[in-house]
Amino acid sequence: MNIPNFENYDDGRFRCMTLTLDDGRYVVITDTGGMDYPEPHDFNVCVYRSENAFGDDPTDSILASATSDQFDDMTAALDAVGVQP
């Protein structure tokens, strides 16, 4: 899956798509299981204070999230969390 401006991340255990916004917020998109790349019908969009906040304790630093359970497509989910890729 390719979303403009997002980079693929794969450390061998965890795969996701990421984007750092101009204000420092860090956007991570995975599947709803939280460990693999998103699919058009299976995604979890999370916005964190910063990349470091995501690395330190992701559950404590999340600002917003949206999933495929709530939205029919990823564009609507990104819009709902205030991200314009």
Q: How many CB atoms lie within 10 A of CB 30?
A: 22
Q: What is the pLDDT of residues 15-70, one digit of tens each?
A: 999 999 999 999 999 999 999 999 999 999 999 999 988 877 666 789 999 999 99
Domain of residue 72: give its range. Answer: 7-80
- Name the more confident of 61 and 73: 73
Does residue 43 lie within any of the structural domains? yes
Asked if 51 and 61 touch (Cβ cutoff 8 Å), the reply is no
Does residue 42 lie within any of the structural domains? yes
Tell which residue, 22, 23, 32, has the closest CA to residue 65.
Answer: 32
Does residue 1 lie within any of the structural domains? no
| pLDDT at 1 (0 to 100) | 65
Number of domains in the chain: 1
The number of CA neighbours under 13 Å toward the Cβ of 36 is 6
- What is the pLDDT confidence band of residue 79, given thresholds at 50, 70 and 90? very high
Does residue 2 lie within any of the structural domains? no
